[in-house]
Structure 1
Amino acid sequence: MSSLFDPIQVGDLHLRNRVVMAPLTRNRSPNAIPRDITATYYAQRASAGLLITEATAISHQGQGYADVPGLYGTEQLDAWKHVTNAVHAKGGKIVVQLWHVGRVSHTELQPDGAKPVAPSAIAAKTKTVLIKNGIPTFTDTSEPRALEAAELPGIVHAYAVAARNAVETAGFDGVEIHGANGYLLDQFLKNGSNKRTDDYGGSIENRARLLLEATRAVVDAVGGGKVGIRLSPVTPANDVHDDNPQPLFDYVVRQLATLNLAYIHVIEGATGGPREISDRPFDYEALKAAYAQAGGKGAWMVNNGYDKPLAEQALKEGDDLIAFGKPFISNPDLVRRLRENAPLNEWDKNTFYGGSEAGYIDYPALA
């Protein structure tokens, strides 16, 4: 049986252990530019087998929260290069999560104060973050407009350009496509947010079209061995739902199996909440089997509420990688603590979003 601390080959990436730092939005990148403390933050956690960055916008239109980073400007890419250099100096591997928020945004965050975009003009009953008087403030999202079909190739192209810039200019080891948590690609997937009647709405095949087009474009740009994708079949995050998620996501992973991706990253249950949702049952083993039966060779990464015993059980049952979220916020040396069964630092929720060093790079490591 594999241990959390055994190495593994994941696509083009050789990882020194099976512990993954999940993407964690921290709202500490004014003007969408990572700061020097961002490099410190990720380098502190470089003992993880793989670091997945906080979600990072592929375009200005893709921005949905104040002070989150981007990949669409020279200053942003230069700043990320400092981050990847710092992680590589510690022997770590790091991929960037490619993000387009779709309707989960606000006019204050969009180019020229425009409406956010979405598959259909349906507002998300959720909050975003704006900075008011220097303080992160949760605010209702703005009403979106429906994307025209003619705009979709441009969004697909933006994913590819961001991926290429991330790897070739910013020095990332790869990319993860954010297809989860009620953001743009997930909005297209799920029939609660997608009411289109064109080739991108209606049937499962149509609703999955944009996610698959974006993934193929990213694979063409950087190679499948450097690409992962994150999916969340039943999370209610950001007001998304689908009436019948099992056949939808079984179809999605069967299509992804043909692209030779490095990994599939699956959020089990509600993001940051219950691992099982009584009114949204889902068979994750069947999902993994559908991927394997279609010839999928990428690593299978699981996420949501894992501790060491649960992680070891998942590895025993055939999963390959375990993503840990909030424990990595307060434990820069989480891998060592897991290995030594050492107690974990508690996190301070008040410093999750926004701010500077406090609650970001000042959590202590073991002596």
Structure 2
Amino acid sequence: MSATHLHGPVVVIGTGLLGTSIGLGLEHRGVPVFLEDTSPTNQAVAVDIGAGRPIAEFEADRGAQPELVVVATPPDVAVDVAAGALQRWPRAVVVDIASVKGAIVRGLRERGSDLGRYVGTHPMAGREKSGPVAARGELFTSMPWVVCTAPESDPGAVRLAKALGSDLGGIVVELDADEHDEAVALVSHLPQVMSSLLASRLQGTDLRLLALAGNGLRDTTRIAASDPGLWVQILGANASKIVQHLYGVREDVERLIRTLEAPTAPGARLDLAQLMTEGNAGQARIPGKHGGPPQAFAWLTVLVDDRPGQIARLLTEIGEIGVNLEDLRLDHSSGRNVGMVEISVLPSKHDALVAELEERGWRVLQ
């Protein structure tokens, strides 16, 4: 069976980061998109950057029905908006992209909405920035796009929900709503909570001390810059799933506190080593590049003068050498006008790349 693709028109309700990104991605594929938002400013910005046309132009054609309606509103109004869309366009398939699925399908079922034309979806993509100006049409490329069917879902509606994800470059994954909510509680919501808790400890810290921070602190607090208003809704909607993981974290923290209160007691060092080893084991289970199996890479650090064009020259020369970069991170040496480019490559390429870069005059740390 050939893949289903959207033809449109598609109505996107909500022109924040995700809704506008969906509009940009579909318009790039030639799918006509119409945008609606309670904020005239957000809608106008999304229209101006090419994510679609105003909903008024679609409604001018009385009796017109969209092929698909995407509810891209905040989670706390998703049920209301999805229920309204199902009534407003009685022949259209309606999907939502909220990050919690169980509460929405239950809310629609309680209202007696037509669940045959509804499918819950969740693109596992985003940015710390919000709003239409942060949107990117390629935001969903190679990212999981979860489709959660209800028992009532019509197969045709499910095909369109999957087509939305695949047309935007996502990797479609099917889960039921409870499986989804359990999964995101661990892999998305708990990391946000832990990052925010860690970042909150930095309040009031002397800036001279924070100047010592390296990539470890930056990496672990990056998502703490996320929108508080949105996360209040997400955490509240999935509280029962998240709190189960927090109970486990509490046990681990209490265990660590007891050990560090007597760090030289018999068994204390073994317990600390075990704690770190358990972290190693969990981290090693995270899927590798492109969602494949975990893979170990070799790292090297190249010192780069902090002036225009140096990083571009480095990357160009690595390409000339014929080595593919698996990952890249940037940092700066404290107190020096030197950048540090941390590069990961396949272990089999490491030594040859180091030798070739040094021969070309680069300063390499291993």
**What TM-score range do you get, normalising by the shorter chain?**
under 0.3
Q: Give the TM-score, by structure 2 length.
A: 0.26
Q: Give the TM-score, by structure 1 length.
A: 0.26
Which structure has the highest helix share of the two?
2
